[in-house]
Amino acid sequence: MITAGKGAMPLYIQIRELLIAKISKGDWLPGDSIPSEMNLSQELGVSQGTVRKAITELVEYNVLRRKQGRGTFVSNHDSQRALFHFFHIVDAKGHRVMPDSKVLRCHRRHASHGEALKLKLKDRADIIRIERVRNLSSSPTMIETITLPGHLFKDWDELDSGNLPNMLYELYEKQFGITIHSAEEQLRAVAATKHDASLLNLQAGTPLLEIERVALTLNKSPVELRISRCNTKKHHYENTIL
């Protein structure tokens, strides 16, 4: 399972994905304590530092929680909600993958007519626009264009826009008191533009899965419009209809 050498994923990311797989398969349940770093490093045949790096990321994403003097525990479902509930992209084996993000641009502008309609704003209202590329399994797989109503995110410009966290919903909640409760998604197949193609290392015209998501608060107010264009060669969107 663990591979090394040129072109392979960094080791700590492989370990991180392996730990996520254990949680999403239910080997480790919410509230369970996980083995110590030393035991995991022996079991997996990697250094303790590598295990620690993987766990530290999962703690940052609220998938795991460290309790002083008691060990590391799988978070409850609420904390995992952001990662597992709203993110439907999985790898060919159906495993949840953790996206990494690189912000390309973050600026203020006026809403287009379509954006205003979707976010229930006035035409040309003040908005914040974030463009970022997300890596899945270490390769650039998604381009996200995120639009936020300026009046809801007043002190946005005080953030270090080059260093935005990977999980934005948590930022919205902690810094702006905005909790995403549900989302409406529209999925279409589109052709990669030249710009998409250069960011995702593929040919212009390649079919991409476009996910247009409007995220809503508990009282159904739209607070974020997110358009994701995904390369589905090695990953796909998973939906269970119950």
**Which of residues 46, 83, 209, 223 is near its own copies by CB under 8 A?**
209
The least distance separating its own copies from the CB of residue 141, rounded to whole angstroms, comes to 12
- CB-CB contact of 9 with 138 (8 Å): yes
Q: Does 219 bind its own copies (CB under 8 A)?
A: no
Per CB under 8 A, the list member of 98, 116, 208, 223 interacting with its own copies is 208
Q: Which of 1, 29, 189, 218 binds its own copies (CB under 8 A)?
A: 189
Query: Based on C-alpha coordinates, what's the Rg of the chain?
Result: 19
The verdict on 176 binding its own copies (CB under 8 A) reads no
Among 120, 188, 194, 220, binds its own copies (CB under 8 A): 188
Half-sphere exposure of 11 (CA within 13 A, CB side): 13
Question: CB of 95: closest distance to its own copies in angstroms?
Answer: 13
Asked whether position 191 contacts its own copies by CB under 8 A, the answer is yes
Distances (CA, A) of 31 to 12, 26, 56, 97: 23, 12, 17, 21
- From the list 106, 123, 107, 104, the residue with the least C-alpha distance to 115 is 123
> Please, what is the minimum distance in Å from the beta carbon of residue 230 to its own copies?
8
| Start-to-end CA span in the chain (Å) | 32
Helices (H), 45-158: 48-60, 77-80, 86, 113-118
Question: Which of 145, 150, 147, 153 lies closest to 172, judged by CA?
Answer: 153
Q: Is 218 in the site for its own copies (CB under 8 A)?
A: no
106 binds its own copies (CB under 8 A): no
Contact 17, 2 (CB under 8 A): no
Residues 11-70 that bind its own copies (CB under 8 A): none
Q: If binding is defined by CB under 8 A, does position 230 make contact with its own copies?
A: yes
Member of 162, 190, 195, 204 binding its own copies (CB under 8 A) = 190
- Interface ranges with its own copies (CB under 8 A): 85-86, 88, 182-191, 205-210, 230, 232, 236-242
